[in-house]
């Protein structure tokens, strides 16, 4: 009997390739985080009397601590506390929980460390910028050079 030579990979391998980067937001974390970010930017926009499109939240690691700042058109406007930074992503009640603060701090440090290792850059030279026009965008920069865009869903995985 003659063996049949397969020209195409098995269906299971095709499915694996297609679903490798597929994620499902079962608990609605991504939707909630997106809404929280939009709400935070709207609030800051009104408070600072600036269009939300000009506001940038910059998160960085300095001396083993996570810091957050708000910039508008390249100017530092204010530093933000860890509780406020966490409230960008979750409700204010959740941001008050000390375990959530530790998870987010650890998650941001891990995210920065992972990207720094992959890019072979010292982690103190990286920063995360969050902007918002119609939808929130999360970008990682090395100095002024864009290294990577991060989906909200991926960012949330580092916090949970």
For residue 95, pLDDT beyond 50: yes
Q: Which of 58, 51, 65 is nearest to 127 (CA)?
A: 58
Domain that holds residue 80: 26-159
Residue 8 domain flag:
no
Residue 117 pLDDT: 87
Residue 152 domain flag:
yes
Residue 26 pLDDT: 43
Would you state the structure tokens that stand for residue 4, as one six-digit string?
A: 């049949």
Q: What is the pLDDT of residues 74-93, one digit of tens each?
A: 899 999 888 888 877 776 66
Q: Which of 123, 128, 136, 46 is nearest to 89 (CA)?
A: 136
Residue 146 domain flag:
yes
> Which of the four pLDDT bands, split at 50, 70 and 90, describes residue 98?
low
Q: How many residues does the chain have?
A: 160
Residue 16 domain flag:
no
Residue 19 domain flag:
no
Residue 13 domain flag:
no
- Tally of domains within the chain: 1
Residue 145 domain flag:
yes
> Which of the four pLDDT bands, split at 50, 70 and 90, describes residue 42?
very high
Q: What is the pLDDT of residues 106-127, one digit of tens each?
A: 888 888 888 888 888 888 888 8
Three-state SS at 61: strand
Q: What is the pLDDT of residues 3-15, one digit of tens each?
A: 555 555 666 666 6
Residue 9 domain flag:
no
Would you state the structure tokens that stand for residue 2, as one six-digit string?
A: 């003659």
């Amino acid at each position: 009997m003659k063996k049949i030579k397969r020209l195409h990979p098995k269906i299971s391998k095709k499915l694996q390739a297609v679903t490798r980067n597929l994620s499902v937001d079962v608990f609605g974390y991504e939707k909630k985080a997106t809404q929280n970010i939009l709400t935070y930017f709207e609030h800051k926009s009104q408070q600072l009397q600036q269009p939300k499109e000009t506001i940038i939240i910059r998160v960085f690691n300095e001396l083993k601590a996570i810091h957050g700042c708000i910039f508008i058109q390249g100017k530092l406007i204010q530093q933000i506390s860890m509780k406020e930074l966490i409230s960008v992503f979750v409700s204010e009640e959740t941001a008050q929980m000390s375990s959530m603060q530790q998870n987010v701090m650890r998650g941001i440090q891990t995210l920065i460390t992972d990207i720094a290792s992959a890019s072979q850059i010292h982690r103190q030279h990286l920063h995360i910028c969050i902007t918002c026009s119609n939808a929130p965008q999360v970008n990682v920069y090395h100095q002024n050079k864009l290294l990577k865009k991060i989906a909200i869903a991926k960012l949330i995985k580092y916090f949970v």
